[in-house]
Amino acid sequence: MKLRIFIMAIVFASGLCSSIAQDNWTHFRGTNLNGISEAKEAPVLWNDSTNILWKTDIEGKGWSSPVVFGNQVWVTTASGSGRDMSAICLDLNSGKIIFNLKLFNPDSIYGKHDVNTYATPTPCIEEGRVYLHFGTYGTACLNTTDGTTLWKRTDLNCDHAQGPGASPFLHKNLLILHIEGTDVQYLVALDKLSGKTVWKTDRPKAVYEPLLPIGKKAYITPIIINVKGRDLLISNGSAVCIAYDPETGEEVWRIVQGEDSTIASPVSENGIVYFLPGFVTGADGEKSAELLAVNPDGKGDIAATNILWRFRLPVLQLSTPLIKDGLIYMIDTRNTLYCLDAGTGAVVYSRKQNQKYHSSPLYANGNLYFTSARGETMVIKAGKKFELVGLNKLPGEVFATPAIVGNSILLRNERSLYRIGR
């Protein structure tokens, strides 16, 4: 009898942990940084008066995505001048603002691209702590219970040229940052408890020297994959994609390609990694980007041996592709929706859109969510045939990738944060 009760307790606890994990959205593109939610009843139809659970105005401007742990939602924001950079915490159930915390007031502000903000990197969160990053302007760790600052760094600097973009992420006891500007390019891992540097690895200077300074910057958020029991950190900068040992920063392999910015993050499924290097200029003088499929089991320069296929795209891919069940979904910068076979790179279908899409797609319960810059979310069925499920419009401009949590969607425009549900 005692054994049975013990087993039932373990099963209950496992189910509870699973439920807690599914109800959190801890990083850019989710807890696993892949854009995939386990929600079974995510909404597919809404407008500004239907299926809106709450709407809260956010002061300032920011393209950081919301992250969620427990009953807290966190976003970053900044004044238009960049002089005030803040963290905002909201109650998930009510949308009420719990904390509005000024974090950084830099003396000097770099310029930025007109479409960027000074609060574009997405925070990451875990129980008791949230980590907020504003690029060269500063990184902070806050206590989520009372909003107190646990540590700050303002010495991890670069010239972003067009503003910050890469988001931080957690790996075991490390907070890892990709910092790639026109002047310096490096990755750094901080002890998440103290903020102290554990390792710092410069990108290889030889592959960046031929590039113009404006071409050396990048805005990607790396990912961690596991290859034959070994973790690899995949970071596709403007000139080179490198796999690092995330514990030490040691380089494992590289693929050199690119002559200007990368923005979209890598993705992975079934032991293959897919990424966009910086764009290149062809023999005809035309610039283009490529999506590469790579076998990540290798060492050294693996460009000649491990690239499985290439798919040509227009330059400056902003949104990160989504891969699910052997299919890759993405909308390129010329507004073409692609569904690609992940095994071959062949086009399963394509469909021209009439809007720009800067935020990254999400997946939940058999559906894909694409939110345009004009605030329209197209919901389509996952699979080899295009099937429209819903078109949903909210006012305002959207660059931030939404979050899906608790069978609801958190969607941010330039003025407000919405929780959409039923």
* Residue corresponding to tokens 């400056």: 316
Query: What confidence score (pLDDT) does residue 252 get?
Result: 98
Q: Name, in order, each residue with C-beta under 8 angstroms of 341's C-beta and a sequence gap of 6 or more.
A: 326, 327, 328, 347, 348
Which among 177, 170, 223, 168 is positioned nearest to 192, based on CA atoms? 170
* Other CB atoms within 10 A of residue 210 CB: 9
- Report the first-to-last Cα separation within the chain, whole angstroms: 42
SS3 13: helix
**Cβ neighbours, 10 Å, residue 343:** 13
- Of 174, 162, 154, residue with least CA distance to 222: 174
In one letter, which amino acid is 56?
T
Distance CA 76, CA 134 (A): 9
- In one letter, which amino acid is 301? D
Predicted pLDDT at 2: 42
d(CA 300, CA 173): 27
CA distances from residue 224 to 195, 230, 265 in whole angstroms, order as listed: 20, 10, 11
Q: What is the DSSP string of 23-48?
A: T-B-STTTTTTSSEE--SS-----BT
Average pLDDT per run of 10 along the chain, which is 422 residues long? Answer: 40 40 86 96 95 97 97 96 94 98 90 88 98 97 98 96 93 97 96 98 95 92 96 96 98 95 95 93 87 98 98 91 98 96 98 95 98 97 97 95 96 96 90
Do 384 and 344 touch, CB atoms closer than 8 A? no
Give domain 2-420's CATH number out of 1.10.3720.10, 3.60.10.10, 2.130.10.10, 2.30.130.10.
2.130.10.10
pLDDT reported for residue 21: 41
Radius of gyration of the chain (CA): 21
What residue type is assigned to position 5 of the chain?
Answer: I
Q: Residue 9 burial by CB count (10 A; 0-12/13-18/19+): exposed, middle or buried?
A: exposed
Count Cβ atoms within 10 A of the Cβ of residue 42 and give its class: 0-12 exposed, 13-18 middle, 19 or more buried: buried
Determine the residue type at 382. Answer: A
Rounded Cα distance between 115 and 64, Å, is: 13
Q: What is the C-alpha separation between 166 and 19, in angstroms, rounded?
A: 29
Which residue reads 């030490």 in tokens? 248
Residue 221 near residue 170 (C-beta atoms within 8 A): no
Please tell me the distance from the alpha carbon of residue 215 to that of residue 109, in angstroms, as a whole number.
20
The beta-strand segments (E) located in 4-111 are: 36-37, 52-57, 67-69, 72-78, 85-91, 97-104
- Residue 303's H or E segment, with its range, is helix 303-306
Sign of CA dihedral 43, 49, 55, 59: positive
Report the length, in residues, of the chain: 422
For β-strands 72-78 and 307-313, DSSP reports them as unpaired
Which residues neighbour 179 within 8 Å (Cβ) at sequence distance 6 or greater? 135, 136, 156, 157, 158, 166, 185, 186, 187, 188
